[in-house]
C-alpha cells in the first residue's frame, strides 16, 4: 500500500494544484500570439510588457495599495484583537466581536457598494476624501484586511500565557511598556503572517477596488480583467509569471527569516 499509493497521491495533488500555473509559465515564453498554440520559445512578451505603461502603472498602484493597507490592517486588527482578548467583558463586547468578523463573511459586492456610498456622502458633507483613488482603495482594503488580521492575532493572543504580561507588570513595567516589550514580540510571528495575508488579499482584490477606485487609480487586477475581456493576450501570461516569481521569492525570504528567528542563539 505504502509503496506506490502515497507518492502517487502526492504527485496527483501537486499536479492538480500546480499544472495550471506551470502551463501559464510555459506559455508566457510562447512565440505565437495565440495563447493555446505553441510557436517556439521567445521572451518577446516580457519586452512587450515592459513597454506597456498601463500595466506597469497599475502594478505600481496595486503594490502601494497592498503595502499601505497591510500596514494599516495590522495596526487596526492587532488593536481590535487586543481589546477583545484582554479587556474581559465590557459593554458592547459582543457587538464588537461580531462587527470585527463580519467583513470575513460579507459579500464583497456589499462591502464595495457600502464603502462607495460612504465615500460619496463623506465627500459631500466633509469634503474628504476628495474624489476616489488611491486613498479610498487603501481605506477599503484596510477594512476587510483588518478583519483577517484580527482573527489571526486573536487566536495567538488567546494561546499566549497571560502570566507573561503579569510578570512584566510585576517587574515594574507599565501597561504600554508591557505591550511593546512582551505582547508584541510574542505575537510577532502571527502579525507577520497577518501582514502577508493582508498584502496578498489586497493584491488579489478586484470587486471592492472596482467600486471605490476612481479615474487614474486602476489596480492590476482591474487592468488585467479589462484586458482579458477583449481576449487573453500573451503579455498577461508574462505578467503572471513575474508575479509568481515575486511571490516565490517573498515566501522563501519569509521562511528563511522564520527559521533564523527560531534558531537564533542569542
Partner 1 sequence: MDGPAIAADTKPWRDPSANPFISVRGVTKRFGDFTAVSNVDLDIFKGELFCLLGESGCGKSTLLRMLAGFEQPTEGSIRIDGEDMARVPPDRRPTNMMFQSYALFPHMTVEKNVAYGLLREGMKKSDAYAKAAEMLRMVKLEKLARRKPDQLSGGQRQRVALARSLVKRPKLLLLDEPLGALDKKLREETQFELIKIQETLGVTFIVVTHDQDEAMTLATRIGVMKDGIIEQIGEPREIYETPRSRFVADFIGTVNLFEGVVEAAAPDMMRIATPDLGDVMVLPQEGLTRGQTIWGAVRPERFALTRKRPEDMPNAWEGVVEEMGYIGHMSQYRVRLPSGALIRASQSNRLREEAPISWDEKVWISVPPAAFRVLTE
Site for partner 1 contains 169 (CB under 8 A): yes
- The DSSP result for 103-123, as a single string, is HHHS-HHHHHHHHHHHHHHHH
Site for partner 1 contains 128 (CB under 8 A): no
C-alpha cell at 69: 493597507
Site for partner 1 contains 170 (CB under 8 A): yes
What is the DSSP-derived secondary structure letter of residue 4? T
Nearer to partner 1, 91 or 266 (CB): 266
Beta strands in the chain (DSSP E): none
Choosing from 33, 177, 250, 253, the residue that interacts with partner 1 (CB under 8 A) is: 177
Site for partner 1 contains 227 (CB under 8 A): no
Helix (H, G, I), strand (E, B) or coil at 2: coil
**Least distance in angstroms from the C-beta of 92 to partner 1:** 19
**Cβ proximity of 58 and 223 under 8 Å:** yes
Site for partner 1 contains 93 (CB under 8 A): no
Choosing from 95, 171, 176, 230, the residue that interacts with partner 1 (CB under 8 A) is: 171
**Least distance in angstroms from the C-beta of 187 to partner 1:** 10
Q: Read off φ and ψ for residue 171, nearest 5 degrees.
A: -85, 5
Number of Cβ within a 10 Å radius of residue 240: 16
Choosing from 87, 102, 109, 166, the residue that interacts with partner 1 (CB under 8 A) is: 166
Site for partner 1 contains 231 (CB under 8 A): no
Choosing from 83, 134, 186, 240, the residue that interacts with partner 1 (CB under 8 A) is: 186
**Cβ proximity of 70 and 199 under 8 Å:** yes
Task: Give the number of residues in contact with partner 1, rule: CB under 8 A.
Answer: 19
Q: Read off φ and ψ for residue 128, nearest 5 degrees.
A: -140, 140
Q: Which residues bind partner 1 (CB under 8 A)?
A: 161, 163-164, 166-174, 177, 181-182, 185-186, 265-266
Amino acid at each position: 500500500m505504502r509503496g506506490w499509493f502515497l507518492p502517487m497521491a502526492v504527485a496527483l495533488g501537486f499536479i492538480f494544484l500546480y499544472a495550471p500555473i506551470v502551463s501559464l509559465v510555459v506559455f508566457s515564453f510562447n512565440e505565437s500570439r495565440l495563447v493555446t498554440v505553441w510557436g517556439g520559445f521567445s521572451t518577446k512578451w516580457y519586452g512587450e510588457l515592459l513597454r506597456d505603461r498601463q500595466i506597469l502603472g497599475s502594478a505600481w498602484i496595486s503594490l502601494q495599495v497592498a503595502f499601505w493597507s497591510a500596514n494599516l490592517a495590522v495596526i487596526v486588527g492587532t488593536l481590535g484583537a487586543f481589546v477583545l482578548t484582554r479587556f474581559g467583558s465590557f459593554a458592547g463586547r459582543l457587538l464588537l466581536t461580531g462587527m470585527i468578523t463580519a467583513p470575513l463573511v460579507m459579500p464583497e459586492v456589499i462591502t464595495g457598494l457600502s464603502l462607495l456610498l460612504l465615500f460619496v456622502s463623506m465627500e459631500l458633507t466633509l469634503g474628504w476624501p476628495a474624489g476616489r483613488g488611491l486613498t479610498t482603495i487603501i481605506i477599503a482594503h484596510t477594512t476587510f484586511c483588518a478583519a483577517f488580521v484580527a482573527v489571526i492575532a486573536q487566536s495567538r493572543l488567546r494561546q499566549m500565557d497571560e502570566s507573561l504580561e503579569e510578570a512584566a507588570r510585576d517587574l515594574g513595567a507599565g501597561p504600554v511598556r508591557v505591550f511593546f516589550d512582551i505582547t508584541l514580540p510574542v505575537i510577532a510571528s502571527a502579525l507577520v503572517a497577518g501582514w502577508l495575508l493582508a498584502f496578498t488579499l489586497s493584491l488579489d482584490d478586484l470587486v471592492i477596488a472596482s467600486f471605490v477606485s476612481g479615474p487614474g487609480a486602476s489596480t492590476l487586477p482591474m487592468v488585467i480583467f479589462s484586458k482579458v475581456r477583449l481576449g487573453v493576450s500573451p503579455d498577461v501570461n508574462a505578467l503572471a509569471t513575474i508575479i509568481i516569481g515575486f511571490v516565490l521569492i517573498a515566501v522563501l525570504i519569509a521562511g528563511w527569516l522564520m527559521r533564523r528567528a527560531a534558531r537564533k542563539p542569542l
